Each structure stands twice: as structure tokens, then as C-alpha cells.
Amino acid sequence: MRKKIVAANWKMNLNLTEGAELVNEIFKGLPPLSEDRRVVIAPPYLHLTQTAAQLTGMIDVCLGAQNCYSEASGAYTGEISAAMLKSAEVDYVIIGHSERREYFKEDDATLAKKVNQALINELQVIFCCGEPLEIRDANTQNAYVEAQIKAGIFHLSELQLKNVVIAYEPIWAIGTGRTATSEQAQDMHAHIRSVIAAQYGAAVADDMPILYGGSCKPSNAAELFACADVDGGLIGGASLKAAEFLGIINAMVEA
């Protein structure tokens, strides 16, 4: 049975004190999570060891990183390797977020290398895809997202793919307050699952969690998570406030 996951992407927000407080607030309100439900918290790199210590002993709340470098080690000033993340008790790493693709010019080849580094180091990958507004307006989003997925993860074996979660984040919905409708999300998620099924078979596709991201909040999470192919969310702004994030977690628990 595939897992439902709600993942917090704090992006470049919160200092160490604020981060610790937010995690404590989330713990206070966290509902019991069954084995097929999971929460991931992806703070900035600087927070990771602190957050890892706070998460000690929790099996259903996992630690995520927002990025890793595409090479194993060496003279790459300012970068963080997947092996370092593993040593900091990180479980998941977000790769291919649209903000990385746009502001840091991360291309398909670089992202495929990052995916490899993550998997070599036994991290789970949250691989992001999603189209800009002009592609949505031209109604060519299915081909666009399919190409991102093929370039990023189709070099993986079936076994490796078990450690990959896909997050569909339409760029026009990120931080804009304009959420995809549940129908738009379901259509794309079903398309993504069919793309995976065509390459790896239906059983593998059925097992893969596909998360939605883009202005997800407590008021729309239940409707989104009720879609057959939406297995949770990757949450930006609403993950920075405990009450909002808990509202989204509760929607996942009840979905």
C-alpha cells in the first residue's frame, strides 16, 4: 500500500530559535500517524542537526533537506553533499524544485546527478516537477512534466525507484495563493502515474506516492488529498505556521 506524505519545505525561512519552536509546536498537536502516513520536515541546511535531535525516536516524522550537490565530494565551496546529509540523519532530499531550476539554473543533467548522489547515499528523493503558466495556458503541461520526469529519474532501476517520491508543483500555484483545482491536480497526477507505469509497470507506479505542491493550505488540503492519485502534499508557506501545517497533516490522516 502506498504511503501518504505531507512534507514541509521551509525554503529560506526561520532562524534556529524559530525553527526549534515550530517543531515543538508541531509535536504538541501531532495526531497519531498510522504506518502508511508520514510527515517530513525539510528545514534549511543549518537547522538539520538541531531538527534531527528534536526528531530523535520519532519514526513517522522524518527529516528532509532541500537540496544536495551533484558530486560526491571535493572543491565545491559552499556546497553540501548527499553523504553529509546522510551523516546528519537526513532521510529525504528535495531535488529539482522549480526555485532551484529557475534561480540556480539547475538543468536536467544536473538533477539526474543529484538524484544519483542521493540514492547512492541511501536518501529518499522527493523529485519535483511542474510547469510554468505559459505552458499551462498552451495546454502542453502533460508533455512538459513528462519530459522532466524522464530526464530526472528514468535512468533509475526499478529497485532505485522505490526510494523516489514525485512532487507535482505547478509553478503558477507556488506562493501565489492560486491552487490548482482538485481536477487539475488529479489529471496531472494520473498522467504522471501512467508515465511511470509505461516505463516501470503498473505495480511500481501504484506504489509511488505523488505529492501536490502549490498554495496547499488547511482549507483546500482535504479536497486535494481526496483525489485518487494525490498522495499528500509538499507545503511551503503553510508549513511555517504550526496550526496551518497541523491542519494539513490532519487532512492527510483523514484522507
List active site positions.
97, 169
In this complex, which beta carbon is closest to ligand 13P, that of residue 216 or of residue 230? Answer: 216
Q: Which three cell numbers stand for residue 52?
A: 534531527
8 Å CB contact between 45 and 65:
yes
Convert residues 76-115 into a mask of x (bound to ligand 13P by CB under 6 A) and - (unbound): ---------------------x------------------
* Alpha carbon distance 153, 164 (integer Å): 9
Query: Any contact of residue 235 with ligand 13P (CB under 6 A)?
Result: yes
Query: Any contact of residue 237 with ligand 13P (CB under 6 A)?
Result: yes
Cα 2 versus chain centre, distance: 15
| Total of chain residues touching ligand 13P, rule CB under 6 A | 14
Query: Any contact of residue 201 with ligand 13P (CB under 6 A)?
Result: no
Radius of gyration of the chain from Cα atoms? 17
In this complex, which beta carbon is closest to ligand 13P, that of residue 209 or of residue 213? Answer: 213
Helix count (H) and strand count (E) of the chain? 12, 8
CA–CA distances in Å: residue 129 to residues 152, 153, 172, 231: 9, 11, 12, 15
Query: Any contact of residue 29 with ligand 13P (CB under 6 A)?
Result: no
In this complex, which beta carbon is closest to ligand 13P, that of residue 124 or of residue 200? Answer: 124
CB of residue 226 to ligand 13P, shortest distance in Å:
18
Helix H or strand E encompassing 120: helix 108-120
> Angle at CA 88, nearest 5°, toward 240 and 106?
65
- Interface with ligand 13P by CB under 6 A: which range of 28-36, 52-60, 158-166, 213-221? 213-221
| Residues of this chain that bind ligand 13P (CB under 6 A) | 9, 97, 169, 174-175, 213-216, 234-238
